[in-house]
Chain A
Amino acid sequence: MSFIDNYEIIVIGGGHSGTEAAYASAKLGMSTLLLTISLDSIGLMPCNPSIGGPAKSHLVFEIDALGGLMGKIADRTSIQKRILNKSKGPAVYALRAQINRFLYSREIIKELENLDNLDIVQGEAKNILIDDKGEITGVHLTNDLNYGGKSIILATGTYLSSKVIIGDMVKESGPNELSNSKYLANSLHKLGIMTHSFKTGTPPRIHKGSLNLKELEVQHGDSKDYTFNFEEILGNLPQVDCYLTHTTEKTKEIINNNIEKSPLYSGIITGVGPRYCPSIEDKVVRFPEKLSHHLFIEPEGHDVEEIYLQGFSTSLPGEVQIKMVKSIKGLEAAKVMKLGYAIEYEVINATELKLTLESKKVPNLYFAGQINGTSGYEEAAAQGLIAGINAVLKLKKQKPLILARSNSYIGVLIDDLVTKGTEEPYRMFTSRAEYRLLLRQSNADRRLTKIGYDIGLISQERFEHFQNKIGIIDKEVSRMKDLTIDSSDEAVSQLISKSKSSPLDQNIKAAALIKRPEISYQDIISIYPPEETISSRQSEEVELLIKYEGYIKKQINQVENFSKGEKKLIPKWLSDYKLIKSLTGEAIEKLNKVKPMSIGQASRISGITPADIQVLLIYLEQVKRQEKKDV
């Protein structure tokens, strides 16, 4: 077999996962091929034109802290930014950016086209090539070309054997009329990796000129200068508004009258859809008492008339969709440019993977993004980055990168997928993270940038800048702890009375004052300024570290407890849990499937009970004692 070219790493798929994987791989010096079905759709955002939001923004901050792409490209192409959850606490502040999706894709392509070590080729992968030793040799394309590669990262998104469904129309297709990946699923099956269907959907797109803006509630941005990227490089696109509206009783009536035409209810769709992202017909059926549902109107670009109708995902027939759209407040004369649709696609069970995202069955075959059962650009990008890094580290024979639940949302994401698998498209929520207060978007760099630097994705210059920034924050926190404020201090007394705080009856540390809800760190430095100037993001972090010190300590203690389980490694010889007679058949099956690395991971496998863990612990302890006696 002859190869057109030979690469170290081949990435199949040019979406948010594949591009991060290819970027990391090439950046780290590996000769890399990015194979995509369409060159023009690299970095495509086929669903909502936004990046971030609770937990998702946390992922983007983490990607940036590790040296990935998504954060800085989103900043460059954002057309509105808001901080969500401002009143709900420091752990869950979340940046959300509306994106010019055309420019986003363009900017990603530019980044990749100019990258050393990376080739980009348009083509559809047909077979993963494996030699008689079971080692990956490359990929065979539908156009009969072969490319050689030592590792393959599969990031097929929603394209694997996908079908688009509108009403009773079912069409073999990827999203947005792009062609799908028809053969690769079969190649996986031959390797013993099984797939099943998931489903998701998207709403109709409408011409902005046809909206009655007077009837809609405007939603402005509020945080133009807040960036995902830690270098705080701002974008320069004009900022635009979003709008809020809602469905009416007429919408509900139309849906109810046509519900039997929905492919969801007629039985055409069999894949499992996400509960948090239901179609509008699903919402009407499941919550019949609700007369109306909120909708968000989001621009797809600052210079684009096409708008996105968030909250109105549907797969009802086109005619019904158009009637439904016109029943929405302010959309009576709306012109539908693209219909909404449901899409079914094939995914693997992520419990087939190691925590590095490498297949347990086929060495050097990695899986990332929606093929692992997730949904969302951010979740996909995070996995792509980690799969890319790990593919490189393995070829370089270095220690893999496995992030912990206690240091990142990425760690939570991958641990959840690999340990528990997912029954529905998996989306990140802040409530999935046990140690949320420690996993703030604001400290993602403190958590991960050293790791990114050690791997080689963070430049020396950026790393020094980061160290400097952390240094200033830490110095200010300890300055506030040491600084004693005299009870007779006039400036402070004025501040206190102005803030309606209780007067000082004795000397007090500045940190103790900042812990009062009505006093801020900014107040204190207006009287006692720091030696070095401090940026607003740094000063927010100082304030937070002081004000929430007690809660932070509490979570650190919880992490220490958690880490005990993570550090209790399960010895490699224990590969068949049938050895442990007292485990239930169910527990044996699950443990054999996941093959957890540690007791901690074992305890998170769904269906594994505390009693099973006790059995496992006692068993391992008996073995250990016996080994001691035998020595």
Chain B
Amino acid sequence: MLKEYTIANIITPLIECGIGIIRISGIQSFEIIDKLFQAYNSAFKQKESHKAYLGVLHNSNGDKLDEALVLLMKGPHSFTGEDTVEIHCHGNPFILKETLKEIIKLGAKKSEAGEFTRRAFLNGKLDLTQSEAILDTIKANNQKALSLSLNQLEGSLKNKIGLLKEDLINIIAYLEASIDFPDDEIEESYTNDVINSRIDKLLDEINKLLNSYSQGKIIKDGVMTVLIGRPNVGKSSLLNSLLNEERAIITHLPGTTRDAIEEQINIGDLILNIVDTAGFRETEDLIEKIGIKKTYNYIDKAQLILFLVDARQGLTSDDYIMIEHLKKIDKKFLIVINKVDLIKKTKLEDINNSIYISAKDGTGLEELKSTIKDLFIKDEIEEYYISNLRYYESLVKSKDSLDIFKESLETGIVPTDLLSIDLKDAYIALATITGDDFTEDLLDNIFSKFCIGK
């Protein structure tokens, strides 16, 4: 039988920021917080649910850890459905870790990944699709991602899948009826050509949904962007002016940024996950060499490459090699010509995909942003997005099965009973999204359509 124990963990990212939150969930939650926390208000002793208390956290030696705000939520009226305490401390990783250590000393277990959600789910607070969509909502970084999650909650995707399934089962019903009722009159309305063109239509629809996955994923997770360029062309300055803050160390020495730095910035609805790389050039410096190798690794993983060039220097032979490389690997890239503030006239001949900016005075930055947006966000928002990996995989399975079916059909020699294996697979893959029973669907379809009976 399932025994209840209390779990705790830090639920905000471990970075320095305004506030960090620790959650404790389970029957011991209130007992633990009593030992750890002294509220300024004595009403805390009553443990009234859904109230916030300010006070002091201290460790077992009585040393003060932090001043914190504590929220009490009695089960089942909490996220997990259990007694829950949330401690809002200062967003200092050290404080958070120390506080968690104390909580664990007091009898809680550190939660495993996803355990809070799992408990919420097990305690009937969420169903599976809801919990998937809620995880997405939590992660939604922007407006579009949010409406996408809500869409999924409303089941519009399921309706769409439902329509695809219906198309598919009509074809299967025809094939199966002819097998199971050989004496009955099954209208010969489905020639191979008809079946083929119906499958093509279905494949079109599935492909659209599959394509929407990359769009959906981009909206949800952002675009992996890599900033490259020779040393000292101003990569870090560009990053900082996009971020509006100083993060990377900027010097005028070539090759200062040796480790790649990852930053997240929002351009309207689009998130860019930007990696600033070490510059590339022929070098003897070992550390720099490693950095350059890393650059190539990042390029491999990137969805967008911003290739920075110094307007004063123009394109060098190194640059041309890199441009050829980018063209060859077929990635989206922009050549960003920086430091236009330092030249009177552009010295460069027209280069495709290029934008002139000055990271220093902000010239061209808006144009850069809108160009990037155009590259990734389609103007028309499609009605349905697949943003869930499980659905995506099911659709891929369905598509693969339909492709095999088409091949088999084209040979003209594969008998019906074998053809239907792949069609059924395609159907079942779709049905795992909506959770329906294949045989019942099929028989209902056959009996409603064909006049069958001995």
Contacts and interface: CB of A to CB of B under 8 A. Distances in A.
A234 B123 CA distance: 64
A293 interface: yes
Contacts, number: 130
Contact of A614 (B3, B128, B181): B128
Interface in B387-433: 411, 413, 415-418, 421, 424, 432
A88 B451 contact: no
Contact of A431 (B125, B176, B432, B453): B176
A55 B180 contact: yes
A283 B122 CA distance: 49
B442 A431 contact: yes
B432 A84 contact: no
B351 interface: no
B440 interface: yes
Contact of A54 (B2, B180, B411, B453): B180
Given A283-B453, A618-B118, A626 B2 contact: yes
B445 to A, nearest CB: 11
Most buried by A among B178, B440, B454: B454
B453 A311 contact: yes
Interface in B113-154: 118, 121-125, 127-129
A85 B179 contact: yes
Given A431-B176, A579-B1, A623-B2, A88 B416 contact: yes
Contacts of A436: 417, 421
Interface stretch (A22-30, A271-279, A326-334): A271-279
A281 to B, nearest CB: 11
Contact of A437 (B128, B181, B184, B418): B418
Nearest to A579: B1
A249 B210 CA distance: 51
A192 interface: no
A618 B451 contact: no
A437 B129 CA distance: 34
A54 B435 contact: no
B121 A582 contact: yes
Contacts of A90: 415, 417
Contact of A551 (B180, B181, B418, B435): B418
A275 B415 CA distance: 27
A429 B417 contact: no
B62 interface: no
B121 A615 contact: yes
A581 B123 contact: yes
B437 interface: yes
Interface string A576-617: 000111110000000000000000000010100111001100
Nearest to B109: A629
Contacts of B178: 88
B407 to A, nearest CB: 12
Given A296-B183, A610-B432, A623-B2, A88 B454 contact: no
Nearest to B439: A432
Contact of A89 (B416, B440, B451): B416
A217 B452 CA distance: 20
A294 B127 contact: no
B453 A278 contact: yes
Nearest to B176: A431
A431 B180 contact: yes
Contact of B182 (A84, A313, A630): A84
Interface string A34-71: 00000000000000100001110000000000000000
A104 B178 CA distance: 30
Contacts of B179: 54, 85, 88, 92, 430-431
A622 B183 CA distance: 53
A479 interface: no
Given A581-B122, A582-B123, A611-B127, A294 B185 contact: yes
Contacts of B182: 53-54, 84-85, 88, 94
Nearest to B415: A89
Contacts of A619: 2, 122
A582 B118 CA distance: 11
A286 interface: yes
A277 B454 CA distance: 5
Contacts of A626: 2-3
Nearest to B449: A287
Contacts of A55: 180
Interface in B174-224: 176, 178-185
B207 to A, nearest CB: 23
Most buried by A among B124, B125, B128, B129: B128
Contacts of B413: 517
A610 B3 contact: no
Please classify how large the interface on chain B is, using the bins under 10, 10 to 19, 20 to 34, 35 or more. 35 or more
A622 B415 contact: no
A54 B176 CA distance: 11
B447 interface: yes
Contact of A606 (B127, B181, B424, B437): B437
B2 A92 contact: no
A276 B454 CA distance: 8
Most buried by B among A94, A275, A581, A582: A582
B122 A622 contact: yes
Contact of A618 (B121, B124, B435, B452): B121
A465 interface: no
Contacts of B121: 582, 615, 618
A602 to B, nearest CB: 13
A386 interface: no
B11 interface: no
B443 A429 contact: yes
A611 B176 contact: no
A64 B227 CA distance: 73
Contact of A88 (B417, B440, B453): B417
Contacts of A6: none
A275 B451 CA distance: 10
A580 B184 CA distance: 48
Contacts of A432: 439
Contacts of B440: 606
B128 A610 contact: yes
Nearest to A94: B182
A610 B417 contact: no
Contacts of B127: 611
A554 B421 contact: yes
Contacts of B439: 431-432
B180 A611 contact: no
A623 B2 CA distance: 5
B180 to A, nearest CB: 4
A555 B443 contact: no
Contact of A275 (B1, B122, B421, B447): B447
Contacts of B129: 611
B417 A555 contact: no
A73 to B, nearest CB: 22
Nearest to B437: A606
Interface in A86-103: 87-92, 94
B45 to A, nearest CB: 30
Nearest to A630: B3
Contact of A290 (B128, B415, B417, B451): B451
A430 B122 CA distance: 38
Interface string A203-244: 000000000000000000000000000000000000000000
B447 A87 contact: no
A606 B443 CA distance: 14
Given A275-B452, A311-B453, A430-B179, 13 more contacts: A54-B180, A88-B416, A278-B453, A293-B451, A311-B454, A429-B180, A429-B443, A430-B176, A436-B421, A581-B122, A609-B435, A618-B122, A619-B122
21 contacts: A85-B417, A87-B415, A87-B416, A88-B178, A88-B179, A90-B417, A283-B453, A293-B185, A431-B439, A431-B442, A431-B443, A436-B417, A517-B413, A554-B421, A580-B122, A582-B123, A610-B128, A611-B129, A611-B435, A615-B122, A626-B2
Of all A-B residue pairs in the complex, the 5 with the closest CB atoms, nearest first, are: A89-B415, A89-B417, A611-B128, A582-B124, A91-B417
